[in-house]
Amino acid sequence: MEKKMINIKIEGQSYQVEDGLTILEAAKRCGYNIPSLCEYNKGECSKASCRVCLVEATGARGLVASCVYPVSEGMEIKISSPKAVKARRTSVELLLSNHNMNCQQCVKNGNCELLHVANITGARENAFKGVKTETTLDILGPGIMRDTSKCILCGRCIERCKKAQGIGILGFEKRGFNTIVAPAGNRSFAQAPCLQCGQCTLVCPTGALTEVSEIPLIDKAFMEGKKVIVQTAPAVRAAIAEEFGDPIGTVGTGKMAAALRRLGFYRVYDTNFGADLTIMEEANELLHRIKNGGVLPQITSCSPGWINYLEFYYPEVIPNVSTCKSPHEMMGAVIKSYWAERNGIDPKDIFVVSVMPCTAKKTEEVRPQLSHNGLRDVDAVLTTRELARLIKRSGINWDMLPEEDFDPDLLGDYTGAAVIFGATGGVMEAALRTAYFALTSKELNPVDFLPVRGLQGVKEASVDINGIIVKVAVASGMANAKKLLDDIKAGKSEYHFIEIMCCPGGCINGGGQPYVKPVFLNKEGMDILDTYREKRASVLYKEDKGRPIRQSHNNPQIKKLYEDYFKEPLSEKSEELLHTHYKARERYPEI
């Protein structure tokens, strides 16, 4: 259906735009960037609350918030009139009057939209002085911290939690001048059913919501003389280069390995080895359930945000979830057992660091069941953003780094199947490649299983494996997964295998990934929000296609690990080190 076009004027110039657009949207399409705090999230906020985007428009009484006011036939819009310019400046100054101005210490410095818009509007320092809203500093949770002294009450985090995860952990608490954004009753994230997924940190315009930094833990381990071993998740390579000014979709694998080596890590490994190991265990677990009448559908367990959601909201479904640890936890367990034995190193002297695209991995790291002989599988988790800070702190010039490989010994090889774990549908595709071989002794051909690729919220497919029709589904974002889980709970699910990722699009869009804000991406254009996940995913699929081996069961080092240590998937030793359990958790425990 052809869209109706209308005539408007902006700063005296005539334009034709689609009917139904807001003034802010129409202005952008005509080449005007009205100062606003809506640049990033396309309306996912408490609309018109900040009043930063005020303009004059004919037919309106006074100034209007351009983010919500629609254009109409013949409308004349004034952005740069003295009245509009002064009003926008005043709006920003009022926000600043209740803001903690410790910009030098803030991790969002350089990515702060409030500071950006303050510069654009010419906001004056201390234009309004007075009492500030009482601050809540929530640092109890392992993954995310909340500082209300930096919150501007835009509501972006509230809307993102609702739309991505369907749960709405955050809301406006208290009233009037005392209003803050918080979990119910101003509880800590540690005392609420928060998934710790970090999607809220991606949309926060200031430093009010950020990850809990574990860089000090790593500094301490180095000072104590530990053998500090680092591993990096597949999705990190698809985004790390963005932190150094490279376009979205730039491959960062080689430079990242080089940077980690220059940071002094004892070994630099790829979590992809752990992903190949996960597939060996998970695919065989699925086949065991199908052959022996086990609980179906089996659901993947690689996403810690999803596991948090499971324990809070769907404990009845716990029997359906794979008992496999996630790849980085498996990798940590193997480093502190098999690798330690082969290298003659006491596991107590090993400190394992995981670089992840995810803030929920920080909550996974501290789970008591993810340990062995009193030692955690993983000792510290850095997000992609934290790794970038560590590199910058060390004075390493990203652009001058050579392309290097990960350390090749014992745990250094990986397959294309492991690389695609970072995109929604990747775990499913990797598992099917190995499950097909296990049942048929033939390789899945073609090896690319396209039906489970793409960014749709829910994808469905089926594959004939030696006469067995295996039905599968893939979901990312808990709001999308809910329908699948409700069907399982009601006993109506027709699937054998389901992949669930907490973050929409999978780990490439994890809560610890670089901020994607067009206002700071001058080369990218205004449509980057519609393509950034595809661009990151393309990095992983290209690397998969370029790997010499693309099936986890064909990884020679995985084969040797089983020959020397685990003997076979689901063996007693692998159950001891590579598998875990989950349990129901109370959503709002007594404080």
**Per residue in 180-233, pLDDT tens?**
999 999 999 999 999 999 999 999 999 999 999 999 999 999 999 999 999 999
Q: Say if residue 171 is exposed, middle or buried (CB neighbours under 10 Å; 0-12, 13-18, 19+).
A: middle
Q: What is the mean pLDDT of residues 559-584?
A: 98
Of 184, 211, 238, which residue sits at a domain end? 211
585: in domain = no
Whether residues 232 and 340 share a domain: the answer is yes
Q: Say if residue 379 is exposed, middle or buried (CB neighbours under 10 Å; 0-12, 13-18, 19+).
A: buried
**pLDDT at residue 522 tops 70:** no
108: in domain = no
Whether residues 207 and 221 share a domain: the answer is no
**pLDDT at residue 38 tops 80:** no
39: in domain = yes
**Predicted local distance difference test score (pLDDT) of residue 552:** 98
What CATH code is carried by the domain that includes residue 148? Answer: 3.30.70.20
**Predicted local distance difference test score (pLDDT) of residue 506:** 97
Of 195, 211, 227, which residue sits at a domain end? 211
318: in domain = yes
**pLDDT at residue 40 tops 60:** no
What domain range is 238 assigned to?
A: 216-578
**pLDDT at residue 418 tops 80:** yes
**pLDDT at residue 468 tops 90:** no
**pLDDT at residue 525 tops 80:** no
**pLDDT at residue 454 tops 80:** yes
pLDDT grade, residue 125 (50/70/90)?
confident
Q: What is the mean pLDDT of residues 394-418?
A: 97
Whether residues 240 and 372 share a domain: the answer is yes
**pLDDT at residue 60 tops 90:** no
What's the rounded Cα separation, in Å, for the pair 136 and 182? 9
**pLDDT at residue 531 tops 70:** yes
Confidence (pTM): 0.95
pLDDT grade, residue 1 (50/70/90)?
low
Mean pLDDT across the chain:
95
- Helices 113-121 and 82-97 cross at an angle (nearest 10°) of 140
pLDDT grade, residue 523 (50/70/90)?
low
**pLDDT at residue 39 tops 70:** no
> E-assigned strands of 149-206?
170-173, 180-183
**pLDDT at residue 101 tops 70:** yes
**Which residues have CB under 8 Å from 498's CB, separation 6+?**
297, 298, 299, 300, 472, 473, 474, 475, 484, 488
**pLDDT at residue 319 tops 90:** yes
Whether residues 155 and 24 share a domain: the answer is no
Nearest-5° angle of CA 459, CA 461, CA 465? 150
Whether residues 162 and 70 share a domain: the answer is no
Whether residues 197 and 249 share a domain: the answer is no
Whether residues 196 and 248 share a domain: the answer is no
Q: What is the mean pLDDT of residues 161-189?
A: 95
DSSP structure string for 230-255:
EEE-HHHHTTGGGGGTPPTT---HHH
587: in domain = no
**pLDDT at residue 138 tops 80:** yes
**Predicted local distance difference test score (pLDDT) of residue 45:** 79
Which residue from 332, 374, 367, 364 is spatially nearest to 351, judged by alpha carbons?
332
Whether residues 383 and 464 share a domain: the answer is yes
Whether residues 460 and 563 share a domain: the answer is yes
**Predicted local distance difference test score (pLDDT) of residue 549:** 98
Whether residues 79 and 39 share a domain: the answer is yes
What's the rounded Cα separation, in Å, for the pair 571 and 88? 66
What CATH code is carried by the domain that includes residue 494? Answer: 3.40.950.10
Q: What is the mean pLDDT of residues 340-366?
A: 98
Bridge partner residues of 497 (DSSP): 298, 472
What is the chain's alpha carbon radius of gyration, rounded to the nearest angstrom?
Answer: 25
**Predicted local distance difference test score (pLDDT) of residue 226:** 98
Q: Which of 1-5, 6-10, 432-436, 448-452 has the lowest mean pLDDT?
A: 1-5
What's the rounded Cα separation, in Å, for the pair 79 and 65? 11
**Per residue in 474-485, pLDDT tens?**
999 999 999 999
Of 211, 240, 271, which residue sits at a domain end? 211
Whether residues 151 and 33 share a domain: the answer is no
What CATH code is carried by the domain that includes residue 11? Answer: 3.10.20.740
Indicate the length of the chain as a whole number: 591
**Per residue in 241-252, pLDDT tens?**
999 999 999 999
Q: Which of 156-165, 502-511, 512-521 has the lowest mean pLDDT?
A: 512-521
* Cis omega (within 30 of 0) for bond into 216: no
372: in domain = yes
Two structure tokens written together for 254: 């080689």
β-strand pairing of 76-78 with 5-10 = parallel
117: in domain = no
**pLDDT at residue 359 tops 60:** yes
**Predicted local distance difference test score (pLDDT) of residue 46:** 77
What total of structural domains would you count in the chain?
A: 3
Q: Say if residue 469 is exposed, middle or buried (CB neighbours under 10 Å; 0-12, 13-18, 19+).
A: exposed
> Do residues 318 and 584 make contact, with C-beta atoms less than 8 angstroms apart?
yes
**Predicted local distance difference test score (pLDDT) of residue 180:** 97
**Predicted local distance difference test score (pLDDT) of residue 527:** 59
What's the half-sphere exposure (Cβ side, CA atoms, 13 Å) at 570? 12
114: in domain = no
> Do residues 525 and 241 make contact, with C-beta atoms less than 8 angstroms apart?
no
pLDDT grade, residue 49 (50/70/90)?
confident
Whether residues 277 and 376 share a domain: the answer is yes
What's the rounded Cα separation, in Å, for the pair 150 and 210? 11
